[in-house]
Amino acid sequence: MKINIQGIQKTFGKKEILKDVSFSAESGKCVGILGENGSGKSTLFSVLLGLQKGEGHFWCDGIDLMKDSKARSKMVGFVPQNPPLIHELSGTDNLKLWYSKKEMEKELAGGVLELLGIPEFSQTIVSKMSGGMRKRLSIGCAVARKPSILFLDEPSAALDLVCKEKIIEYLKGFKANGGIVVIATHDVSELEICDDLYILKGGKLHLYQEQREIHKLVGCLKDE
């Protein structure tokens, strides 16, 4: 399996937010997209996932997922910055919106939901969960349909080290099973799982091939 994103463009009024953005990834690989706040990372994901209109193509196995929403919903999972959970419900009740009872029990007992540590807080009301719990629950919901491609928008932002480690370990396993991961990130801890790094700046995406040292990265993000 391979994804090939080609010529993504997005404008707001007369302002170009994304300018001919293109990249690709194969099974078992992770692409990291870095950029300052407001650089367009979330907008790029929204366009690719059909949440905003834009130009370009998102090819996977001969299917343009920007145009085929049914195929996209089967193949792609998405974890946004703010988990789309129902705060009045428990973790279990949120999961029931995505899983059959049998499948949910199976995953809680020895599958992805257990790996994410969700059984520890599954009966907690979402409004009383920590940010890390909500993020892990959001990932659990996003992978309910067993997607082969997973987009995550700053998955470890503001989380403690234990939560970050659980998420990183899950993503390593997702890659090892042939999945493709695309992460928009500011977090240095997530760079270790990225096979390719890109910098989004001025609406354009640039492949980063230099040493992955934080000061060099910061310099590339800020240099014009």
In a domain, 123, yes or no: no
Residue 162 corresponds to which amino acid?
V
Q: What is the CATH number for 176?
A: 3.40.50.300
Asked, for residue 129, whether it belongs to a domain, the answer is no
DSSP 193: G
* 163 part of a folded domain: yes
Is 108 domain-assigned?
Answer: no
Q: Which residues in 10-45 are b (16+ Cβ under 10 Å) and which e?
A: beeeeeebbeebebebeeebbbbbbbeeebbbbbbb
* Percent of the chain as helix, strand, coil, to the nearest 5: 40, 30, 35
Which residue is it, tokens 């659980």?
A: 166
In a domain, 7, yes or no: yes
- pLDDT tens track for 141-170: 999 999 999 999 988 776 778 888 888 888
Strands 149-153 vs 76-79: parallel, antiparallel or unpaired: parallel
**Counted domains in the chain:** 1
- Tens-digit pLDDT profile for residues 42-59: 999 999 999 999 999 999
pLDDT at 78: 94
Q: Binning pLDDT at 50, 70 and 90, where does residue 90 land?
A: very high
- Residue 209 falls inside a structural domain: yes
Owning domain of residue 57: 2-84+141-222
C-alpha angle 56-62-65 in degrees, rounded to nearest 5: 45
Instruction: Give domain status of residue 50, yes or no.
Output: yes
132, part of any domain: no
C-alpha dihedral, 152 to 154 to 156 to 113, nearest 10°: -20
